[in-house]
Structure 1
């Protein structure tokens, strides 16, 4: 179920973002966003433990496109200098003395680089509450990009989470969840991973790119455009490069289609039977009465029936997979 979704540049850790100490009131997070935020603050002080990183399994749904990148090194250096100010959250595993990550994957990766134990809040949460905690903590600390949220929504839905849980996890309405899913469903997942999180690129721009998928091979173009770019190219710039290339390809294809082609259809003796015209908008068959008057009248009487028969034949062939 866990898949490593994208690489994204991480913001500097806000060392002042550690939750304030407060008594623990509940062992299970409530569903509401407001209650969840309060609970995240309340449960921190009396539940922090020092745990060996190798006791923590990196399972569950991933909400970031890339976990390992240069920002992990920067985060590790910060923790080495100032200590880990913000704990991660884990829950007990089915295996003794082992835990499952809820949130804080980047902090855990940083501590693994420098060695030592990791400060963690240990909570016994079910899958729904765990997912809500993960989504809300990330929304509060590091605003995910539109496409990261879209991928996270897709994974949550495919994993069978209820709509209400997904909405609470990301602080979205039902329509907001739907808007994200509509876009991600039109895009090849590999394309999204090639581009990256693209912070600052919103639903409209991703939607415009998705709309081009019906006209040009997005993934093929993206590979060609992105391959020569430096690895350090910001993902938002990668998006723009891919979008411009796909748009240009669409316009070139459209121009070719508009010009169309006209073919004179002839019989076995080489005499013209009719004219076939094809462009981007239509297919037309033209029979000139002066060349074939009798055939013209014959076809006129049967044109509607013949067209219906051809359409039914196409449907049958498509249904049989031929």
Structure 2
């Protein structure tokens, strides 16, 4: 069944049709099939919620996207993947906007709206120059940010530090803890960690590092503890302003700040790491009285260690030729 037909049927069918749409046999899906199933499952949930909304009296309308503004609370440190956005634009161009967004009347601008969820769909219709399908609902600030948080949870791609900043933004806007818990769907212990990290690490440093998609909660908590050191903020500011920092990947920028604070602000010893063009520390170089040791991080560059091992004979011959050439001179 085509994706657009699945959604259309869900919007129009009753419980019997939904039950008939459920698979009758259990299989272990491949990665691609599983991903498609998750996508269709997400569409099914949104369609069911939308149908319930319409049945409750909400109406789908078409709006000029120029009149729709983003949320008053930012939850992103980086823009969405251009590839993902292009795919969404193509999907809407071919099949239309299947799922409306949720907006509320703008609290300060008559005739304008503020989006609760569906930010990517708003970007896509703007690029296409078409009108935006939306459900307009009177939402309080708390209801809007809970809906916004719900969308992020369903997408499952906010990094730890983006969640932490989102929580801190909500707290700064005066929302209470129950609202924060509902918006991020976490319990008190995890919310405490989010807020501690966001409060302890200077915002300027977090923004300079970026979303750091490969850097999880444990590493951010370690960095938080390092900022308890005297002069940590000054040391981090020097690293962030240093040459080449902006050219690094977000995770490599995190690592650069982390290493600096861990070494008390001293620059890492020369040759400590060999970094790939993305700035990631792929090869650790350790010199001791017994000799030199190279440790290759294959998580960052899969199979690079195997390749280097296969090139040892050629490297050695090149080394011998180089030495003999110097002696001849």
Give the TM-score of the pair, scaled to structure 1. Answer: 0.60
* 1:64 and 2:76 correspond: yes
- The residue that corresponds to 1:113 in the other structure is 127
Unpaired runs of at least 5, structure 1:
1-10, 23-38, 254-322
CA distance in 1, matches of 2:66, 2:137: 18
Query: C-alpha distance in 1, partners of 2:201/2:243?
Result: 17
Q: How many residues were matched structurally? A: 225
Task: Indicate yes or no: 2:160 matched with 1:150.
Answer: no
Pair 1:142–1:44, CA change in 2 (3 A):
farther
Query: SS at the partner of 1:84?
Result: coil
Q: Structure 1 residues 15, 83: CA separation in 2 closer, same or farther (over 3 Å shift)?
A: farther
Match of 1:219 among 237, 243, 253: 237
Contact 1:61/1:152 (8 A) holds in 2 = yes
CA contact (8 A) 1:212 1:250 kept: no
Q: Which has the larger radius of gyration?
A: 1
Unmatched 5+ residue regions in structure 2? 1-34, 268-329
- Residue 91 of structure 1, CA deviation: 0.7
1: CA distance between counterparts of 2:182 and 2:213? 22
User: Which residue is equivalent to 2:209?
Assistant: 195
Given the alignment of the two structures, is residue 179 of structure 1 paired with residue 193 of structure 2, yes or no? yes
Residue 127 (structure 1) shift? 1.3
DSSP-derived class of the 2:182 partner: helix
Higher relative contact order (CA 8 A, sep 6+): 1
Which residue of structure 2 lines up, in the alignment, with residue 236 of structure 1? 251
Shift of 1:153: 0.9
Q: Which residue of 2 aligns with 1:17?
A: 42
Using the alignment, how far apart are the partners of 2:241 and 2:54 within structure 1?
45
Provide the residue aligned with 2:288 in structure 1.
Answer: none
TM-score between the two structures when normalised by the length of structure 2? 0.59
1:100 counterpart SS class: strand
Aligned mates of 2:130, 2:148 — CA distance in 1: 24
The Cα shift of 1:163 comes to: 0.7
Superposed CA offset, 1:133-179 (max 9, x none)? 11112101233211011111111111000111110111111222111
Distance in 1 (alpha carbons) for counterparts of 2:54 and 2:210:
33
Instruction: Provide the aligned C-alpha RMSD in A.
Output: 3.2
**CA 1:196–1:75 in structure 2 vs 1: closer, same or farther (change >3 Å)?**
farther
Q: 1:203 to 1:115 in 2, by over 3 A?
A: same
Secondary structure, aligned partner of 1:110: helix
In structure 2, the residue matched to 1:93 is 106
**Alignment check: 8 A CA contact 1:90 1:99 kept:** yes
SS of corresponding position for 2:99? coil
Cα contact 2:145–2:183 (8 A) shared by 1: yes
